Amino acid sequence: MEVGQSPSYSKDDFSVFIPFANENNNCFTKVARLNIQVPKYHGFRGPKKVYEHEAPIDTGSTGLAISAIDLGYTNEGQLQEYEKGTEYFSSSRIYYEGYWVPTKVTFPDGNVSADVKILAVTFSGICSKFNNTTGICDQLSDETAEGRFGKLPPEICYMGVGFGRLSTQQPGGTADKNTLLNIVETSDGMTVSSSNIRQGYVITDTGVWVGLTKSNTKEFRFTKLMPRPETQPASLLREWNGTSAFIDYHDNLNMQGTALFDTGITQSYLSGTAFQDTHRLATGDRYTIKIGNQADMPIETLDMTVDDFTTPITPSYVIASRRDFAFVNTGRFFFRSFDLLLDAKEGWLGLRKHEPCNPSVIS
């Protein structure tokens, strides 16, 4: 715990647990998923009026993206009244274009619903040259993947629930698009608002707690997040920067930057002034991650050895690159030993150790 740093949840009492849809995710070897339901386009004439899916959750992005055609839209003209949007995922190079559609997203396993805008995807491709200045894909690859690319691609569903992701790659990646932070009602009709919920979540190894309370925040160690100037007026949710961290690599100590605990990928990315050309770290190479605002008093210290799979949180591989400001993406195997808490109202990141799991297969 950082000196003098600790939130209180004694007056907060609303929370709901949403279990993972794929309980057999082999301890985060596979991406964790939550069951969702979204109403289809009002002009849809088919028999099934609700879109249902096991949505993969990704803390490395923000916003729910679903194929427009799977939501009942058959052409872009039906979406012209909505704001255009784009999203780019740097690790996979997947690029989406679409429209931000306001709708209700229901979590049937938790009996709660959120009001958010979702990206109805009208185009998808692999971007071989993304422009970080303009936020546009300057060059598309000719790669394809099972028909999910091109105009009105089917079978796209990806739910970003992260924070601090707002950038030219994710210009719509704001807190008002986060399904887990905009719960508005329960299935029995009870209204949920800022007066009865501490907006935030806890990701565990079996599911997600939505809403923070004294009970579900026990034994967490906290670090304060730094605010960004953007605030979403509709929900009054603040935007927060990524979690502060320090990285030691060989003789390069306390490289200061941020950490991302990313449920979306199995590999890890490491950046800092200690590295030169982008390369994969060799087996046995070592580095240390100190999480928090103070290098001499972190809330957690991770001593990592590349390819040491006797340690459950070891990523599948590590890519290092040079960057003036240090950065680490731990990958999702981090969640094999830790629960993660986000307090979106007051700006706290919490970590809690749990009994580590050792999957039989690491991929």
For 344-356, what is the mean pLDDT? 96
Are 71 and 173 found together in one domain?
yes
Are 170 and 21 found together in one domain?
yes
Last residue of a domain, one of 181, 209, 234: 181
Question: For 243-269, how does the pLDDT look when each residue is reduced to its tens digit (9 = 90+)?
Answer: 999 999 999 999 999 999 999 999 999
91, 31 contact by CB (below 8 A): no
123: CATH = 2.40.70
Q: Establish if 226 belongs to a structural domain.
A: no
22, 224 contact by CB (below 8 A): no
Are 339 and 252 found together in one domain?
yes
For 138-162, what is the mean pLDDT? 88
Which pLDDT does position 25 carry in this prediction? 73
255, 274 contact by CB (below 8 A): yes
CA distances from 313 to 124, 153, 317, 338 (A): 32, 35, 11, 9
For 189-197, what is the mean pLDDT? 88
Q: Establish if 100 belongs to a structural domain.
A: yes
> How far is residue 331's CA from residue 322's CA, in Å, rounded to a whole number?
19
pTM, two decimal places: 0.94
Enter the tokens of residue 261.
Answer: 């605990």
Lowest mean pLDDT among 29-33, 116-120, 230-234: 230-234
Question: For 66-97, how does the pLDDT look when each residue is reduced to its tens digit (9 = 90+)?
Answer: 999 999 999 999 999 999 999 999 989 999 99
For 186-203, what is the mean pLDDT? 91
> How far is residue 40's CA from residue 154's CA, in Å, rounded to a whole number?
14
Are 78 and 157 found together in one domain?
yes
Are 41 and 172 found together in one domain?
yes
Residue 116 has pLDDT above 50, yes or no: yes
Are 176 and 280 found together in one domain?
no
Are 152 and 71 found together in one domain?
yes
Burial 154-192 (b: 16+ CB within 10 A, else e): eebbbbbbbbbbbeebbebbbbbbbbbbbbebeeeeeeb
Lowest mean pLDDT among 73-82, 224-233, 281-290: 224-233
Q: Establish if 98 belongs to a structural domain.
A: yes
Q: Mean pLDDT for the chain?
A: 93
- pLDDT-derived band at 207, boundaries 50, 70, 90: very high
- pLDDT-derived band at 237, boundaries 50, 70, 90: confident
Are 174 and 260 found together in one domain?
no
Q: Establish if 65 belongs to a structural domain.
A: yes
Which pLDDT does position 145 carry in this prediction? 59
For 294-308, what is the mean pLDDT? 97
Residue 319 has pLDDT above 90, yes or no: yes
- The number of folded domains in the chain is 2
160, 173 contact by CB (below 8 A): yes
Which pLDDT does position 363 carry in this prediction? 42
Are 173 and 259 found together in one domain?
no
Are 41 and 174 found together in one domain?
yes
Which structural domain, as residue segments, surrounds residue 288? 243-353
Cβ neighbourhood burial of 357 (10 Å; 0-12, 13-18, 19+)? middle
In terms of Cα–Cα distance, which of 349, 328, 338, 353 is closest to 28?
Answer: 338
Are 168 and 269 found together in one domain?
no
Q: Establish if 10 belongs to a structural domain.
A: no
Residue 236 has pLDDT above 90, yes or no: no
For 98-116, what is the mean pLDDT? 98
- pLDDT-derived band at 174, boundaries 50, 70, 90: very high
Last residue of a domain, one of 165, 181, 197: 181
Which pLDDT does position 166 carry in this prediction? 87
> How far is residue 23's CA from residue 20's CA, in Å, rounded to a whole number?
6
For 216-240, what is the mean pLDDT? 85
The pLDDT > 90 percentage for the chain reads 82
For 283-293, what is the mean pLDDT? 98
Last residue of a domain, one of 181, 211, 227: 181
Are 159 and 58 found together in one domain?
yes
Question: For 3-15, how does the pLDDT look when each residue is reduced to its tens digit (9 = 90+)?
Answer: 557 899 999 999 9
For 3-30, what is the mean pLDDT? 88
Phi, psi of 37 (to 5 degrees): -135, 135
H-helix segments, the chain? none
Q: Establish if 247 belongs to a structural domain.
A: yes
Q: Establish if 46 belongs to a structural domain.
A: yes
Q: Establish if 49 belongs to a structural domain.
A: yes
Task: Express the helix, strand and coil content of the chain in percent, nearest 5 each.
Answer: 5, 45, 50
In terms of Cα–Cα distance, which of 274, 279, 362, 289 is closest to 328?
Answer: 289
